[in-house]
Amino acid sequence: MSTEPPDDTDQGLALHHITVRFGGLLALDDVSLQVAPGRVVGIIGPNGAGKTTLFNVICGFVGPQSGSLTLDGKPFRPRPHHLTRRGIARTLQGVGQFGGMTVLENVLVGARSRKAEADAWAALERCGVAEHARALPGSLPYAKRKRVELARALASKPRILMLDEPAGGLDTEEIRWLAELIQGAQTTVLLVEHHMELVMSVCDEILVLDFGKPIALGTPGEIRTNEKVAEAYLGAAA
Amino acid sequence: MDRFLFLTFDGLSRGAVYAAFALALVLIWRATRIVNFAQGAMAVATAYVAYSVSDATGSYWLGFIVALVAGLLLGAGVERVVMRFVDHSSPLNGVVVALGLVLIIQGVLGMIYGNEFRPATAPFSRDAFEIGGVALLSRYDLFVFAAVGAVVVLLTLLFTRTPTGLRMRAAAFAPDVSRLLGVPVGGMLTLGWALAAAVGSLAGMLVIPTELGLHPTAMDIVFISAFTAAVVGGLDSPIGSVLGGLMVGLLLSYISGYLGATVAPMAVLALLVVVLLSRPDGLFSRRAKARTA
Judging contacts by C-beta atoms under 8 Å, the chain B residues touching residue A61 are: 176
Under the banding of pLDDT at 50, 70 and 90, the label for residue B290 is very low
What's the CA gap between A132 and A149, in Å, rounded? 13
Residue A225, min C-alpha distance to chain B (Å) = 36
Residue A25, min C-alpha distance to chain B (Å) = 24
* Amino acid symbol at B3: R
Query: Given CB atoms, is B169 within the 8 Å cutoff of chain A?
Result: yes
What's the CA gap between A80 and B183, in Å, rounded? 9
Residue closest to A161 by CA, chosen among A178, A140, A142: A178
Residue closest to A117 by CA, chosen among A158, A161, A151, A155: A155
Query: Which distant-in-sequence residues (6+ apart) come within 8 Å of A12 by Cβ?
Result: A34, A35, A36, A37, A39, A71, A72, A160, A188
Torsion over CA: B224, B229, B234, B235 (sign): negative
Per-residue pLDDT reduced to its tens digit, A38-70: 999 999 999 889 999 999 999 999 999 999 999
- A109 and B166 in contact by Cβ < 8 A? yes
- B291 and A137 in contact by Cβ < 8 A? no
- B170 and A92 in contact by Cβ < 8 A? no
Secondary structure of A113-164 in the HEC alphabet? CCCHHHHHHHHHHHCCCHHHCCCCHHHCCHHHHHHHHHHHHHCCCCCEEEEE
Half-sphere exposure of A179 (CA within 13 A, CB side): 17
- Predicted local distance difference test score (pLDDT) of residue B289: 47
- Predicted local distance difference test score (pLDDT) of residue B293: 52
Q: How high does pLDDT run on average in chain B?
A: 90
What's the CA gap between B241 and A234, in Å, rounded? 58
Q: What is the pTM of this model?
A: 0.83
Judging contacts by C-beta atoms under 8 Å, the chain A residues touching residue B163 are: 108, 116
* Amino acid symbol at A147: R
Per-residue pLDDT reduced to its tens digit, A98-140: 888 999 999 999 887 778 899 999 999 999 999 999 999 999 9
Class of domain A1-87+159-238: alpha beta
Q: Where are the domains of chain A?
A: 1-87+159-238, 94-157
Per-residue pLDDT reduced to its tens digit, B177-236: 899 888 999 999 999 999 999 999 999 999 999 877 899 999 998 999 999 999 999 888
**DSSP letter, residue B166:** H
What's the CA gap between A47 and B160, in Å, rounded? 41
Q: Where are the domains of chain B?
A: 15-219
Q: Is B43 exposed, middle or buried (0-12, 13-18, 19+ CB in 10 A)?
A: buried
What phi and psi, each to the nearest 5 degrees, are found at residue B269?
Answer: -65, -40
- Predicted local distance difference test score (pLDDT) of residue B1: 72
Q: Is B87 exposed, middle or buried (0-12, 13-18, 19+ CB in 10 A)?
A: exposed
- Predicted local distance difference test score (pLDDT) of residue A238: 43
B175 SS3 class? helix
